Structure formats: structure tokens, C-alpha cells
Amino acid sequence: MKHIFKMGNTKLSRAVGIFNLPTWITCVGKTILCTKICFARRPELFRPAVLPYRQRNLEESQDPGFVDKATREIKDRKIKYVRWHESGDVYSQEYLNKIYEICKACPDTRFWMYTKSHCVFDWSGKPANLAIYLSIDRTTPEDWREKMHPSLKDCPTAYLLMPGETPDPSWVTCNPGGLKHEYCMDSCKTCIAGKLSVYFKKH
């Protein structure tokens, strides 16, 4: 049986299950900048196995049995942390509702995501074990806070920091020292806590 979640990558701890979707077609809140420099799209273009894998995940997410299958895998594999969407994003209300169901069915697992769909769907009822980051960049419309769903008002922000932009020192900058062999969620657990806003440098 093929797994829904892959474990870790070049930056994330092997303790983290990752669920990826195709870029662009699922990124309903994408901005001009993220479309132009999308880091997650490159593997789809240059690694033949990546896009079919993500497309299969999209089909899985649309299947009526997705919630039960994902829940069972998380529990059977004892996955402690799950990141939704290293690539892709929340693309429909039905899919968001399924994510919430999975999180609620797995109270011993911590989940997190960065989303640009914060102005698109009804995000009411967010599970306590899901941290949501409102992903923005310099091309995000200035009125995004007025348009975002009100239930997200206390969620932290994830900002794409471009060369020449100066970070606010009160925010966390991901991997600020450029440490090698330091995987996200091994020692730094800032994002899973969902409390502090974070900068991510263009890479």
C-alpha cells in the first residue's frame, strides 16, 4: 500500500509527515511573487516522479475515504508531526473540512500549515492541534487583513523575505545562522507552536 504521507525532506525532520499537492492549480490564493519564484514548482518540472506523486495526492484528497485513510496511517505509523503542503495549498472548502476532521481525529499529533488561502474559505472551527500561518509577501494585496476570515485573526504570519528587505527583529527568521545538518522540528519547534510570526528567506 502506498503511503499518503512522506517522512521528512532535506530540511524537515524524519519525524514529520508531509502531505503535498500540485502547485498552482491548488494555490487559489497565490500572489504575483510566489507564482514567479515558486520553489515548490521546480521539482515538478525537473524531477519526473514528483508531479505524478502530487497529482495522486490530489486525487486521494478528493476521495470520500480520504479522512479515514489519512487518520489510520497517522495512527498506524505513529506520526508525531504533520506538515500540510510543502507544495500546494488549501484548494476548496470541502478539502479544508477534511483537514480539520483528520486533525481532530488525531489529537496526539501536531499539525501545521502555511496558507495563502486565508481570504478564500471559511476557516471556522480550527482544531487546537493545528497551527496555521498566514503566508504573505510584498505582492500580497494591502487589504488582506480586512479580507481574511475573522477566525484567523490571532494566527501568526509567515513572510517571504526577499533580498534587500529588512526583517523585523521581533519576528523569528527561519534558520538565521545558516546552520547545516539542522532539521526543522529536530530542535526548533517554533512553527508547530503557532505563536510567533516567521520570516522565510528566498531560496
Q: Mind listing the pLDDT tens digit of every residue in the chain (203 residues)? A: 578 898 755 566 668 899 999 998 999 999 999 889 888 888 878 888 899 999 999 999 999 999 999 999 999 999 999 999 989 999 999 999 999 999 999 999 999 999 999 999 999 999 999 999 999 999 999 999 999 999 999 999 999 888 888 888 888 887 644 444 455 666 677 888 888 898 887 76
Domain boundaries, the chain: 6-201
Task: Classify the C-alpha dihedral 186-191-196-201 as positive or negative.
Answer: positive
Q: 181, 140 in Cβ contact below 8 A? A: no
Asked if residue 124 lies in contact with residue 144, where contact means CB atoms within 8 angstroms, the answer is no
Cell triple for 83 = 506538515
For residue 177 the three cell numbers come to 545562522
For the stretch 111-124, what's the b/e string if a residue is b when 16 or more beta carbons lie within 10 angstroms of its beta carbon? bbbbbbbbbbbebe
Helix (H, G, I), strand (E, B) or coil at 132: strand
pTM of the model: 0.90
Contact 111, 84 (CB under 8 A): yes
Residue 111: phi, psi to the nearest 5?
-120, 155
Q: Is 100 helix (H, G, I), strand (E, B) or coil?
A: helix
Cα separation, 15 vs 8, whole angstroms: 7
Query: Cα–Cα distance between 23 and 192 in angstroms, integer?
Result: 23
CB 139 within 8 A of CB 33: yes
CA end-to-end distance (rounded Å), the chain: 34
**Spatial distance between the Cα atoms of 24 and 88, rounded to a whole number of angstroms:** 7
